[in-house]
Amino acid sequence: MCVKPYCQDSVGFHKTFDLGYSGTVFNNMLLDNDTLYIYGTANDTTPQIQWGVLFARADTSGNLIDYKIHFDSLGDQYVMEPDYSIIKTSDNCFVVVGSLFNRNSGFLMKLDRFGNLIFVKEYPDSLTLTLHQRKVIEIKDGFLIGGHKQTQSNNTADIFLLKTDLMGNKIWEKKFFSPDIWDQLGSLKYLDDNTIIIGAGRGSANTSPENSWVQSRLIAVDSSGIIKWEWNSDIADKQGGIVGLNKTEEGGWIYITNYYLATTQDPYAVARRIGKLDSVFNNEWVSVVSDVNYLNQLYNLIPANDGNWVAAGQKNDFPDIGNKGWIYKISDTGDSLWSLKIVEECSTGQCSNSYFTGLVVLPSKNIIACGQVRENPPVPKLLGWLVKVNQYGCFDTTNCDIPSGIVEDNAPQKELIIYPNPFASQFTVELPDGSLRYELVDITGRVVKAAPVHSMKFEVEGSKLPSGTYWLKAFGSEVFFVKKLIKN
């Protein structure tokens, strides 16, 4: 086992982990006292290629304590995607979930604190075409597993919940779907013994981009899987999907979602955004945090222990090839605080296709993210990845220098400028080059003004608009900008 640190100082580090296999991936982690418990996968090529479940322990300085890998006894491949669940159980053990590739069935695996196998249970479904068994939570008498699956009788995906006893034995399974609609589960949250929240997305199936629609969904179910209430976003808001769901102190919700701008010319036009709802599902704010590029992803969002929020994923700077690890911090009022794009230096040069999935925040408010990097040819290999920064996105508390291999995303860029802000009757807009049209959107997501762009600087008349919060969005073939403004 080889650990390669590229930067380590008084606070931060970024390290890759080569466990001697052709592939090592860190998919998620949790913090228990001062130990990181990491869930991932590793690829053994002897005697044939086989992906197993990786359970590793590390300290908060990025030192690997130990690890164990569990392979399927029948030679199948364990499959886990970014942010699949690892949870600590009430008896101080750990449970992880995922799927088996060839048998196309879900699994639940329980491990002790040292990664020793207690049991693994498999949930076959002969009618399943594709399966994403993403999340698990512990309830008072067992476990509740959530995901989505595509069946032979239905060419769309359906959300499912599967309940087990404490030994992983299946008790019941229920689906939540509508005909000809694509449903996907992104989050599963425990509120109390009789209230479980599903965060999900839904959209039209088998339609052209101009006729398609998407929604974000929150579904509350009781301990028997019966729906208690449901919320769906307005189709006009063009948001679809919920990941990184959190309940706020005010009784509302904050989550990551997708902002779909698909057209026939660009069916993959999507930006990532973070939104906050109040306790009755009104938008408090929406913040678009990426440009239009489907390769940009945020997989996880957690409280930052300072009243703000931190997210992790991957950032792609078109036309550059390859993704960078991305950590993004946003305030509780929707303002961007800082953004870091991180590129590792591998022995063969710069690594490619890097991303973060798991996140923890320490009592010190320092942030640790886990994920993977891909070492380029001549010997391509996947490496586990750990990165630690302080609450300000810095590796060094003395001067906040950015070490070699780190790209700070806070540098001045093309900017959307609005003034005065707040405004009373009218405001001036200065658009970045490449903008082709703009929209002014109110707090409900309704477009109140929209027009093509004929000049990069112009005035907008807003005297008849109600007082409140608005967002001005500027669009182009390769650009997307958004800025919040206030009408007094």
* CB-based burial, 323-332: b 16+ in 10 Å, e otherwise: bbbbbbbbeb
Q: Mean per-residue pLDDT for 342-364? A: 82
Give the global pTM.
0.82
The answer, yes or no, to whether residue 356 has pLDDT greater than 80, is yes
C-beta of residue 474 within 8 angstroms of C-beta of residue 432: yes
Q: How far apart are CA 301 and CA 323, in angstroms?
A: 19
pLDDT band at 472 (very low <50, low <70, confident <90, very high): confident
Domain with CATH 2.130.10.10 in the chain: 2-408
The per-residue pLDDT for 474 is 76
Residues spanned by CATH 2.60.40.3080 within the chain?
Answer: 417-487
What is the predicted pLDDT for the residue at 146?
97
What b/e string do you get for 130-153 counting C-beta neighbours within 10 Å, with b at 16 or more? ebbbbbbbbbeebbbbbbbbbbee
pLDDT single digits (tens) 414-446: 567 899 999 999 999 887 766 677 888 877 667
Give tens-digit pLDDT for 357-371: 999 999 999 999 999
Looking at residues 458-472, what average pLDDT do you find?
A: 88
What is the pLDDT at residue 319? 64
| Tokens (6 digits) for 27 | 């998919």
Instruction: Tell me yes or no: is domain 417-487 CATH 3.40.50.300.
Output: no
Give residue 339's pLDDT. Answer: 86
Was domain 2-408 assigned CATH 3.90.420.10? no
In order of 20, 50, 71, 75, 203, the CA distances from 46 in angstroms are 12, 8, 12, 11, 43
- How wide is the angle at C-alpha 15 spanned by C-alphas 13 and 21, nearest 5°? 170
pLDDT for the residue numbered 76? 95
User: Has residue 207 got a pLDDT over 60?
Assistant: yes
When the pLDDT of each residue in the chain is averaged and rounded to a whole number, the result is: 86
- Give the pLDDT band (50/70/90) at residue 282: very high
70-84, 194-208, 424-438, 473-487: least confidently modelled range: 473-487
pLDDT, tens only, 290-344: 888 888 999 999 999 999 999 999 998 766 667 889 999 999 988 888 888 888 7
